[in-house]
Structure formats: structure tokens, C-alpha cells
Structure 1
């Protein structure tokens, strides 16, 4: 059964400068149990919310199956960590997630390619290993709420 494992809505960028310098400290409360999504804008409270340059990529999703054990959103900086959904195969489709508050439709626009930071935050070789499984970048098509826990997932 598909599930949302973690949610991240961070008001700050943590990967600034050179990877060798290490990430900036995480602000308290960036890992949450519930996120509010707004159509065309992204996740309320997230660093990319309403940013024109990120309108087609304001929500990012990665599959837990792509990550080493014990690694989550704090290390990879995606917004939604799922299990039971082959997210990397959904480019060009619409993914509809419902965690109990109604459906949230996300147009899957492109891959979320990893960067060199992955070798620092996850471990050496991760950047290369995640090139085809680094998640997806989406545009929210409607307003809604997503929660950690079991979800209904439909692809169209």
C-alpha cells in the first residue's frame, strides 16, 4: 500500500556554497506531519512557494526505495518521501495523492536530478547513484492537504 513516510517544508535553503563546506543548519520544524499545497504555487511555508523560477517544480517527491536505509528528506531536500510508488516513472503524467483530506493532483514535469551535495549529505557515490532515481519535480494543480501515513495514489 502506498504511503507518505516524511514531509518537508523548509523556509530556508541549506545547500549553499560549495558541498565541501557542508550544509547550513536545519531550521526547527522543517520535517512536518502535514503540508498545505496551493495550486500553481507549491507548499505553504516552503522556500520555493510562489517562486516564479520554480512554478513547474515547486513540489518534489522521491521514493524511499531509491535511498539508502536511514536516509530521509533532511538529507536529500525533497518535499515528499513515499513508498510503494515508482515516482521516477511518472514524468509527463498526473499523480493524484489522497491522504484522507481529498485528492491533491500533481503534474509530473521532469526528473529531480541530484547534485554534488548528495555525496556530502548521504555518502560518497550517491550523486551518481541517484541520477535516474532522484525523484520528480511537480506542479500542484489544485489546493489541498497531504499527511504522513497511508495514501491512495492514482496515475493518469
Structure 2
């Protein structure tokens, strides 16, 4: 097996999402549960092995290797085009913690380690498994969104470092 080359890419962190509750429970026809506080963040605090401070999966043993989800906004933009939507929905509707522009998140292999530095030093993550979209996507994006996002739902990761991530320009390294 050939070794992968190290990569350094300039990306943008377009959305950060932290919520203490799981909004997509029950039947999509009933609509999502409202967040008790705004889920959108300008910055998030990352804790190695635990996740994002304040998030519903922080320090949950069952989610240690899946505590942080990372998503490429281009996947949502492509789904919107494929579905003929007049506008691209907010990246917050996919409920992924870190939404990036400029990198094919779904192209990373399981076990891949990547770092994000948005100005406060690098924070490394290890990719563990795909973050498959759920049926709620048909309710919150548009009918057909589940199929349009299949294979492009992002990755579930474990943070390897403590640190901060902020909205805006960042550098991603592999």
C-alpha cells in the first residue's frame, strides 16, 4: 500500500454547531425539537477524547470515537443543485459540528488524522466512520435530500488535542 502524501489546504470554517439536545428525534412530520439555546457558535472549545464542550455527545462513552462530526458544505450545495432548490439551506440544518469549505471531508480514510488550525493552534482529529445522513434530511432540507446526501454526510471523529476552533479561514493538514 502506498503512503499518502501530507497535505496542507486552506479551508474556511463556515459553521460551528454545538447543542446540548438531540433535535432530530421522533417523527420528522412533527418537526425538530427546538434548541434550548442557539446552536450556532463563533468558536468552540475542543477537549481531547471528549468532544466539544457543551455538545450533547461530550464525554459520552458510547460516542467517544464519534463525538465530533465534520462536514463539507459543498456536499449540501451539491444536494441543493441536484434537488433544484432555489437556495442552499443553512449548513446548520445538517447538525454537523464543524462545517468546512474547501476540503473533501468524505474522501478521508478511517483512521486518518487531520488537523485544523483556525488561528489558535492546530487541533487534530482522527476520522472513525461516516456520519450517515438520516431521514430527517428530507424534512429539514427538502424531499430527496437523504438520497442526495448519501455518501456525503461527513465523518465522525475523535479529537486528539485540546484547543479552539473559530469561524473563518483555517488550515487543514493531513
State the TM-score, normalizing by the size of structure 2.
0.86
- Secondary structure of 2:106's match? helix
Partners of 1:84 and 1:75 in 2: CA distance: 19
Instruction: Report the equivalent of 2:54.
Output: 45
RMSD of aligned residue pairs (Cα, Å): 1.1
Partners of 2:92 and 2:48 in 1: CA distance: 24
Instruction: Report the equivalent of 2:162.
Output: 143
Between 1:33-42 and 1:17-26, the stretch displaced more is 17-26
The runs of at least 4 aligned residues of structure 1 exceeding 3 Å deviation read none
Instruction: Report the equivalent of 1:96.
Output: 115
The answer on 1:87 being equivalent to 2:105 is: yes
Between 1:138-147 and 1:17-26, the stretch displaced more is 17-26
- Secondary structure of 1:151's match? strand
Q: Kindly state the Cα deviation for residue 151 of structure 1 after the two structures are TM-superposed.
A: 0.4
- Secondary structure of 2:156's match? strand
> Contact 2:16 / 2:98 at 8 angstroms: preserved in 1?
yes
> Contact 1:72 / 1:81 at 8 angstroms: preserved in 2?
no
Larger Rg belongs to: 2
Counting matched residue pairs gives: 155
- Secondary structure of 1:20's match? helix
Q: Kindly state the Cα deviation for residue 28 of structure 1 after the two structures are TM-superposed.
A: 2.8
> Contact 1:73 / 1:80 at 8 angstroms: preserved in 2?
no
> Contact 1:99 / 1:148 at 8 angstroms: preserved in 2?
yes
- Written as runs of structure 1 = structure 2, the 5 A alignment for 1:111-150 is 111-150=130-169
Unaligned runs of 5+ in 1: none
> Contact 1:10 / 1:47 at 8 angstroms: preserved in 2?
yes
